[in-house]
Structure 1
């Protein structure tokens, strides 16, 4: 009898182990592989790309800022270089949030429009305030262009709405996640090319097309044309090695992190830096009106959370 009981109990235990193995295998099967894209809804949800976990060196190497002719008064924010490990499973939007996607959010939430967007003046000699907003930025856009004239506060309202809509927690990427995704395994200043004559093949920046609209801007890259004087529809340029578009150029991206003047004491695990000047948040990526010195994976700036400009947009992240 005892032998029979033992055999029965052993069979049950074996079935339990098999069941647990099947459950784990099913969980692994449901976890998308790096490079896989998905949407959490069919009505207006951004296309997300699964990003591989890994480690990278964050920040500008010695000499990069000087070599790129970054003005001396804004040098030093992207140092010291430090190792960061992205251990969590992450998905990042393939594109910046578009006008059509943002319009759906505004329509469903009845979020009021602002009239305080900042733009470059036509002469290219400075910035002016205009009575513009995300759907009237002062130049023509398509529904597939990235939304601009959105603040960090606007972006937070958007991700809260998207989280409620999908049942998944969406957020802005952290600084660590953003630079890791922008570099996509590269260690050069830019993931495409550092040659000014070739850079227009990879993204939309302040180039010849831009300079013809803003002849007074001496910082424009006059070595090439990217075909756009203002923003370009998402997907107009090749993606980087992780399958993400416009990580450099087109619009600068808001991130989750509070502003700190440099990386001394920065997190190294991919989490957001929630200490420092939290009235300002970090933006990355350069934009359609930017000179090449700031269109780099390492470049960062701190802007007030209420700031809206025609060079500012965002993309979303989700922990898997």
Structure 2
């Protein structure tokens, strides 16, 4: 009997990983069951770092049943563990046919070449040459981390140099800001095998405790192996020196641009930099900010000022003297915050990249019945050469979102305008009514930093309906109708009409905070306890006692479900694309989002939806307030 299953595969290098997507299609008219995938590879060379939400049992990924004419896909993140070697990835596919007979076959092996380059240095590289290399090197990639401790930038710089300089690379420049909040270290080298130029940088942002390893060269495979090795060594070094194992967390970037704290963009090719940027290896500074495209720069004809360096003091003293006749220049905020501060000057727009998503026009190959005609191709990105293999969609962001507090003590965070993909990816379980995924544009809004508390409710309504009575716990046991009365009264108290419930799209956009993972912090449900109160028989908890998302919003996962404005629809077919609430049908059922103390972790996912009658009250149901800008 012919094999009823067809295998297609895609692969690409990104963020120091090899993304390997396998799609299994049932080409028979019958149900095929108990489908499992057993990947076979050299565990000394590769490590599985992620696999979405599919169950791993006895070393096999369980896909379950696939109906006739349907397919299922799984994306595996392989992390290289060794350099200068090629690794074969094989897979045994097991299934039960419609007559109950068990069958299996092997996918044709795929060889993955990951080269960690052994560097050799050449003559000194100045800033002008460095910027030229970055401009011309087509393959660029990075690995991103968030620190869970308060290690200083100076100590971070020492550890980073220790790790990176184990390779035979030449240190070019170290840049940092006068206020000591941002740091970059740049290196140059060439591969011994083929002599390709390669640029490496380490950057760190003190305020958000985020660090990035960036590299650029001609070969994406080189980047993957190099970043995997550097990232692993840096993570281990920081954790061992600070005695805090597991406190350096990989950031998963998805679907929207993130920007790097690229101080290099504030320097000209002649080595002159803005007065707020110190080059530890030079004494030349400049007065204006300049990005790659000049959009954020001041006038290029402004005079330059030479300022003595203080390479041993980080940050330097503030006693920099300026000419008496010099104009005072207001330096705009040069960093646009997304995902805790990874920076890249790309026309003021940013994009976050999804470790588990492949672009629609990706090159792929079929492994039909494991035939020899298979030809595996790397995914290539024809839209944006900045990030090979990644299809990116811009999302505008603001720096350091402003906050304000209203008359009853509700704190609001400014949420930037932008675009995002609403709904859940196909690899998420329990997705039911969370599709189809569709792009939505969101305008700038203010959203409550916390869920509305019982104290705030009482100040407007005069009584407390909550079961779990505590002034700083979220108000609960309030219906959608009750919430509208609260909003009307608050608007009257302040003589405004700006307060309302968020739309479902606005809520999900704010929850994701620039990501498209299952949760705002990634796909690993084991980390949910750091961000959410869920499956907790003790009821609600004080707001803001778990970790916030990347836009500073607390309890977007768990504590209490949150009412939004929309009428419930069982799919997103024909849903608005402008961020407005969807109320085109006569229904009493309204949507609530976020999960609660009494629900499981899967109900706390960014895309998870629930609904209740507008008059219903539950002790796990509250709300968060929106204020129009």
Q: Does 1:318 align with 2:623?
A: no
The CA deviation at 1:196 is 3.6
The CA deviation at 1:34 is 5.7
| Superimposed CA distance per residue, residues 253-283 of structure 1 (whole angstroms, 9 cap, x where no aligned partner) | 1000111111001001011111135311111
Give the direction of change, closer, same or farther, for the CA distance of 1:266–1:309 in structure 2 (3 Å limit).
same
> Scaled by the length of structure 1, what TM-score is found?
0.69
1:286 aligned counterpart, secondary structure: coil
1:198 aligned counterpart, secondary structure: helix
Q: Does 1:96 align with 2:424?
A: no
Paired with 1:246 and 1:266, the residues of 2 have a C-alpha distance of 26
Query: Rg larger in 1 or in 2?
Result: 2
Q: Match of 2:439?
A: 83
Q: Match of 1:37?
A: 403
Q: Match of 2:275?
A: none
The CA deviation at 1:297 is 0.5
The CA deviation at 1:89 is 2.4
Paired with 1:257 and 1:312, the residues of 2 have a C-alpha distance of 15
Paired with 2:526 and 2:452, the residues of 1 have a C-alpha distance of 29
Q: Match of 1:53?
A: 417
The CA deviation at 1:62 is 1.1
Q: Match of 2:585?
A: 276
Paired with 1:165 and 1:319, the residues of 2 have a C-alpha distance of 16
Q: Match of 1:293?
A: 602
Unaligned runs of 5+ in 2: 1-397
The CA deviation at 1:40 is 2.9
Paired with 1:50 and 1:293, the residues of 2 have a C-alpha distance of 28
The CA deviation at 1:286 is 0.3
Unaligned runs of 5+ in 1: 1-31, 108-112, 114-132, 214-228
Q: Match of 1:11?
A: none
Paired with 2:502 and 2:572, the residues of 1 have a C-alpha distance of 17
Q: Match of 1:120?
A: none
Q: Does 1:157 align with 2:498?
A: no
Q: Match of 1:27?
A: none
Match of 1:200 among 513, 529, 542: 529
The CA deviation at 1:103 is 1.0
Q: Match of 2:465?
A: 134
Higher relative contact order (CA 8 A, sep 6+): 1
Taking the TM superposition and a 5 Å limit, the aligned residue runs for 1:222-261 are: 229-261=538-570
Is the CA contact (8 Å cut-off) linking 1:177 and 1:270 kept in structure 2?
yes
Is the CA contact (8 Å cut-off) linking 1:260 and 1:277 kept in structure 2?
no
Q: Match of 2:322?
A: none
Is the CA contact (8 Å cut-off) linking 1:33 and 1:50 kept in structure 2?
no
Is the CA contact (8 Å cut-off) linking 1:98 and 1:146 kept in structure 2?
yes
Paired with 2:529 and 2:568, the residues of 1 have a C-alpha distance of 30
Paired with 2:525 and 2:507, the residues of 1 have a C-alpha distance of 23
Taking the TM superposition and a 5 Å limit, the aligned residue runs for 1:142-221 are: 142-168=470-496, 169-206=498-535, 210=536, 213=537
Give the direction of change, closer, same or farther, for the CA distance of 1:242–1:273 in structure 2 (3 Å limit).
same
Paired with 1:54 and 1:34, the residues of 2 have a C-alpha distance of 15
Is the CA contact (8 Å cut-off) linking 1:45 and 1:162 kept in structure 2?
no
Paired with 2:400 and 2:582, the residues of 1 have a C-alpha distance of 25
1:278 aligned counterpart, secondary structure: coil
The CA deviation at 1:193 is 4.5
